[in-house]
Chains A and B, each alone.
Chain A
């Protein structure tokens, strides 16, 4: 036999075809007989210099290892090949080495130098696998080498190698726990790593090596929260579990206020099992210091606590059951009661998964459903049992159903139970009967119904069913025995048939206990039992003795002899328990001279009133174990289980989680990086959360700012995109907030802010100028304010921001669409340019706008002509009224560089509103350089342009010489990407550099387009009925300035504020709706944003006495709101 199997091995150890001896138990294989022979040929193959032979040999060896055969004698031959060039051979040698190194330590050392070489390999995969194997070789001697290798790998360039280093840490720790301190240092270092790849592994190392060092997490807490969504799923599980523990030590119990409020009412409402132990303890404390508690300020959730809850919530949608469970337990342990409900749906979903998953999930649901019954009530039907479920699943579902039962649903549940009782699975039937019993004890109204049902079951043919019913009935009867003597009688009859010991014992106990209710039957039962005493099981015998004793005490006349008889039988029983019991009872009840004082009290001892048993769920109080853990499942502490700490009385200092920003970023770069992310999101919006407040993220934000900065430098990986998109939202959100703030504080701030502005501007304080500056500084201020306000506001604003988020998403989408639709429009534009001259010459006279404002000569001419070009082209066949053309506006100029700061050089810029010929997507900015100094300025050019991603700049050509006192203009183009973010750059002369920035008013970010009134209305409708109804329209009621109540001035002011073209109205023939009454004309303006060509539609509907309604339709909410403000200002002042 043994020789035979060895022979087989010899012939075909390879892995190609299934061999007959596979199924064979390898332990009985003939290792001894032909070992040498067999391994000789393998050795030969390994020694050959052909890779294919080596590979073949290694494959056979690995196949043997897989079957659990001992191949340790090949160690020397195999280890030689550790440096083999063939990567597959190498890998298989690694497999072998890791398996046997612990047994053959000396020989294993031979391979170490190869790995050390591998650690320096330029290929990151080889570096990583070298470290993996090196750290897996469990040889104590190489601990220092491993330590060194881990330290080195922890600062490797490749995140993959760093991940491997994190994996190696627990390996080394299990080999030599003395290294703990050094390893903690490495863990600390790796915890600071910002890549998602490393995060999961290092937290795992942390959990294995130093779970008690919770202080290491502080600095990384926010980062981990933000990265979480992009970490691979296994890492997510580990991190979430760790963060649950962390949160329990750092934050306050979110439910403590509730428990305070509900203190009295809780019990009456929800029944006693609703109470939590912790709460009870707390309550005790509370009573002691009740007055103090009353004064305690209301609970405010730590923003970091909120951050954790918010960032884990989307993971409930994960496909990985372990992740879903991890989030569920986090919510169960950490979330305010009102929010825990969200996990129910996800958990119920998991019930569709493999039966093993169901098993674990149901265990946890069972525990949860005791405390938070309401959470699962809507899903009651999901726990209905199918005949195909495995028994263990059925029993667990039953448990959940029982926990969920209450007055309202008990009737449906009982109906379900009725079908279960007919099941073929007897274990399940037994469990159902117990469940019925529990329902009956918990819900008083159905107790009688249940009891009757159970009594009916007593006539069931299946003995198991009857026995189980008896046991349950016994428990129920104990609650109100007087009422049910007929049931007791009925059960007494059953003793003839029922054979299950537990049931017999229960019946006997019942009869004994309530012998007064059945005075006639009880002695008779005892008589029968005495007869069969010797054949009974032990528990039955004990109950017979009990019954006898009780009857002796109550009805000694009839039963004295019987009792004597039973006691005599028991005296000689084989079981010492029974003998002891008999002796004890005889002494107690039968009065003799010797019997002491005790016998007087025998009646009290035996016939004392016994409290009814409480039928409890086996899952009660299991939640002191962290849910989802192995310990919870087994209801016993598993090795390495970390206790879930109780909430702290007072929260530890939250500032420990603050991370100092390494390089303090000026306000604008912060904005810009946000903006950059926003742009990125257009390409890769990953998961991110929807609701928001930004207390903690504000700082987390800046932290990962520096992170992405440093990492994009290395260019290998991108830092967690989840956090990025997350933050981009913060960006947009705070933008919104800014605006709100702006509105709120407008009046207040205006006064305050004007002063400093005016100081700096001594010369040109035109109104526009002022306004613009105001805006700038307001923005800055409101930003800082909003940061501080956010903590309070956050809660109330979250719902609002949600809608805003969705809006920004829509924006992104539309941007895409718009971008697609753009290309075809380009050629048209080019044509325009070619024809520009003739067209403008021809048309200018015809289409001269009625209200022709004064304009800066050069620019107005050009921009005007463009507008006319466009109109002329698009409307070549339409009849135009003379008043249809967009009148050009007076151009506002802004100061870029004041002559004092510029040391004589002053620069102003204006938006010329003409197309920027090199790139149609750019806004043309015209700059006027004036040299007020006494010396010439040379080499004027720009440098170091700092832009958000997506923004582009076309620099103006270098101005070689600007003589003293002269003035020169230059034009540059900026693509602002439809945002009002500033473009920052340095203006360089031959001697100096000045930091300057150009910030466009929102009105300059668009170009006029021509629409007829009908088209205008159609577009407006489209925008309104589009994806996000109503989001695209902003309406404002205004009172027009006294000076601007005629058509002319309204048009002029609007067009000054924004680069739009007027839509002809009223006189148009094709206009289907009736012409608006001439005394309340409606003015319409249209334009498109420069970069994404989204339509911007402005309507000013005038009413009597200067009242008017301003409506702006634009897909871009931000542009729309800003534009409203600008136009509002223009019209009211």
Chain B
């Protein structure tokens, strides 16, 4: 399946290579570089590139291309999903997945890759199993290892490999038993010029951080499970139970994991938390354009809208922008023509606005396209769909865990067309 893996940084250097079958010359990446050159944007490199003898399947994460070399038919998603899993594992191990982090831990990276794939076929991708095989590097452990001569590599087969719950190892112990769940919802919306909603939907996830001793068996129930239209689960969730009772029943993995992601049924109207008044105009014949933007809260159920960030790709003709924000700061990059305005919190009494002029290339005709405005925002302590966790129960263990649930709403792909 996966023959080799090359890691390529933004400047086009191959800084790591790993082969699982026979060695493939790194010159195969030339085809990739060709495609990279053709693409105007980094993310426009096609994920699958055929070459005379191989196929290159790549993903771009953290400005690193992970290029897998394939020799024969394989489902492309299989490879893509695996590569993303590799990145997730690196992130899990090193905190960040950057070129520097990978180079610093090149041996651990190699050991990981060796365990994750055998002959190009995934072997152990569950982070709990991997962590038993190869301990994540910490400063303390490195020091202990140099003194005692012990290693980062486990000698026993991880218990998870053979168990029916491969995601959880046995013998977990904590002094403080805690289970935290974050319900995070994202609003994806397209708002048209006049402010009416073209499409809006809510996607949510429940991320968990569970630090519980032993083999706890948790059940999580919702007040209004009918809201959830389409769900995908971590493998630990008992699907049958969900189908029958709309209850999440699971033996959790140890540590952080994504319990479930869901889509809120489209029948429900989506509350749009903010509105934008905009007036972006270019006049024919003049080298000036007007830019006028006002933000306001809408349907927030009394919660504050925080961390608002407005960004917009201005037309190529715009040379510079001279704007005046009523709050926050704005930046305009004259090279990429990207305008971003860090608004912060919206005060309903005094609505934030950004006003001013844009200077255009002299003599150029007015751009006929208007920029779209992307908005990021956060609303704490509220799930916009109204989803509420009813209760969390633990079975199978005697102690009483500390339980916490947090709600948050964010803007996902939230766009306003102007």
Q: Which residues of A contact B (CB under 8 A)?
A: 15-19, 22-25, 27, 51-52, 55, 59, 62-63, 65-68, 86-88, 91-92, 94-95, 99, 102, 123-125, 128, 132, 135-136, 138, 158-160, 164, 167-168, 170-171, 174, 197, 201, 204, 229-230, 232-234, 237, 241, 314, 317-322, 324-326, 345-346, 348-349, 352, 354-357, 359-361, 381-382, 384, 386-388, 390-392, 416, 419, 422-424, 460-462, 628-631, 633-634, 636, 638-642, 684-690, 716-718, 721, 725, 805-806, 809-810, 813, 816, 1027
Contact = CB atoms under 8 A, between A and B. Distances in A.
B200 to A, nearest CB: 9
Contact of B313 (A158, A197, A424, A717): A424
B55 interface: yes
Contacts of A462: 368
Interface in B187-232: 190, 192, 198-199, 201, 203, 229-232
Nearest to B233: A317
B301 interface: no
9 contacts: A24-B13, A65-B110, A68-B14, A123-B157, A167-B119, A388-B413, A391-B40, A416-B198, A717-B162
A634 B75 CA distance: 11
Contacts of A460: 368
A62 B123 contact: no
B300 interface: no
Given A86-B151, A317-B231, 20 more contacts: A15-B103, A17-B104, A66-B110, A67-B15, A68-B17, A86-B149, A88-B153, A135-B119, A160-B162, A167-B121, A234-B122, A318-B233, A319-B258, A325-B77, A384-B198, A386-B372, A386-B415, A387-B374, A423-B369, A684-B164
B10 to A, nearest CB: 11
Nearest to A316: B232
Interface in B295-353: 313, 315-316
B175 to A, nearest CB: 26
B106 A15 contact: yes
A357 B119 contact: no
A88 B105 contact: no
A68 B26 CA distance: 8
B361 to A, nearest CB: 14
B356 interface: no
A65 B103 CA distance: 12
B397 interface: no
A687 B110 contact: no
Most buried by A among B198, B238, B243, B245: B243
Contacts of A86: 149, 151
Interface stretch (B80-88, B384-392, B398-406): B80-88
The 9 A-B pairs of least Cβ separation, nearest first, read: A640-B72, A88-B151, A687-B239, A806-B244, A809-B244, A381-B199, A125-B157, A641-B73, A234-B122
Contacts of B41: 390-391
B393 to A, nearest CB: 10
A1027 B245 contact: yes
B232 A317 contact: yes
Contacts of B245: 806, 809-810, 813, 1027
B77 A361 contact: yes
A522 B166 CA distance: 77
B192 to A, nearest CB: 8
A381 B190 CA distance: 10
Interface in B123-178: 123, 125-126, 146, 149, 151-157, 161-162, 164, 166
A384 B238 contact: no
B122 to A, nearest CB: 4
A685 B249 contact: yes
A318 B234 CA distance: 7
A16 B395 CA distance: 45
Interface of B: 1, 9, 11, 13-19, 21-23, 26, 40-41, 43-44, 46-48, 50, 55, 58-61, 70-78, 80-82, 84, 100, 103-107, 109-111, 114, 118-119, 121-123, 125-126, 146, 149, 151-157, 161-162, 164, 166, 190, 192, 198-199, 201, 203, 229-235, 238-241, 243-245, 249, 258, 261, 263, 313, 315-316, 365, 368-370, 372, 374, 395, 413, 415, 417
Contact of A633 (B48, B156, B230): B48
Contacts of B164: 230, 684, 686, 718, 721
A13 to B, nearest CB: 10
Contacts of B162: 158-160, 197, 716-717
A690 B243 contact: yes
B135 to A, nearest CB: 10
A384 B189 CA distance: 10
A938 B46 CA distance: 85
A462 B261 CA distance: 43
Given A167-B121, A237-B78, A806-B244, A349 B263 contact: yes
A322 B78 contact: yes
Contacts of B203: 352
A796 to B, nearest CB: 21
A390 B33 CA distance: 18
A688 B261 contact: no
A714 to B, nearest CB: 12
Given A66-B17, A66-B110, A630 B121 contact: no
Contacts of A806: 243-245
A60 to B, nearest CB: 9
A382 B202 CA distance: 12
Given A352-B203, A388-B374, A138 B111 contact: no
Contacts of B15: 22-23, 67
Nearest to A724: B164
Contacts of B372: 386-387
A319 B77 contact: no
Nearest to A721: B164
A1050 to B, nearest CB: 37
B40 to A, nearest CB: 8
A138 B84 contact: no
A63 B240 contact: no
A685 B241 contact: yes
B199 A628 contact: no
B243 A52 contact: no
A390 B46 CA distance: 10
Contacts of A160: 157, 161-162
Given A95-B110, A422-B370, A685-B249, A354 B44 contact: no
Contacts of A685: 238, 240-241, 249
Nearest to B58: A356
Nearest to A58: B107
Contact of B315 (A95, A348, A424, A687): A424
Most buried by B among A22, A95, A805: A22
Contacts of B78: 234, 237, 322
A360 B80 contact: yes
A511 to B, nearest CB: 28
Contact of B238 (A88, A345, A686, A816): A686
Contact of A392 (B16, B46, B77): B46
A628 B77 CA distance: 7
A629 B48 contact: no
A666 to B, nearest CB: 29
A52 B149 contact: yes
A983 B182 CA distance: 49
A232 B417 CA distance: 44
A237 B224 CA distance: 33
A51 to B, nearest CB: 6
B235 A319 contact: yes
Contact of A18 (B81, B104, B230): B104
B151 A66 contact: no
Contact of B244 (A51, A88, A628, A810): A810
A387 B149 contact: no
Nearest to B147: A52
A132 B157 CA distance: 14
Contacts of B114: 91, 94-95
Contacts of B261: 319, 352
A17 B192 CA distance: 51
